Amino acid sequence: MAKSQASLLLQKQLKDLCKNPVDGFSAGLVDESNVFEWSVSIIGPPDTLYEGGFFNAIMTFPDNYPVSPPTVRFTSEMWHPNVYPDGKVCISILHPPGDDPNGYELATERWTPVHTAASVWRSLSPGVLNYAWFLMNAGYEYGNTLHSCFLSVHSVACHLMAVVIGSESWW
- Residue 141 dihedral angles phi and psi, to the nearest 5°: -110, 135
Beta-carbon contacts of 63 under 8 Å, excluding residues fewer than 6 positions away, are: 2, 3, 6, 36
Query: What is the spatial distance between Cα 86 and Cα 71, in angstroms, rounded to a whole number?
Result: 13
Any catalytic annotation for residue 18?
no
Query: Which residues are 80's β-sheet partners?
Result: 83
142-145: long-range contacts at Cβ-Cβ below 8 A with a sequence spacing of 24 or more? 142/84, 142/90
Query: What is the spatial distance between Cα 18 and Cα 43, in angstroms, rounded to a whole number?
Result: 16
> Taking the CA of residue 83 as centre, how many other CA atoms within 13 Å lie in the half-sphere pointing to its CB?
18
Query: Which residues are 42's β-sheet partners?
Result: 25, 55
Active site amino acids:
90
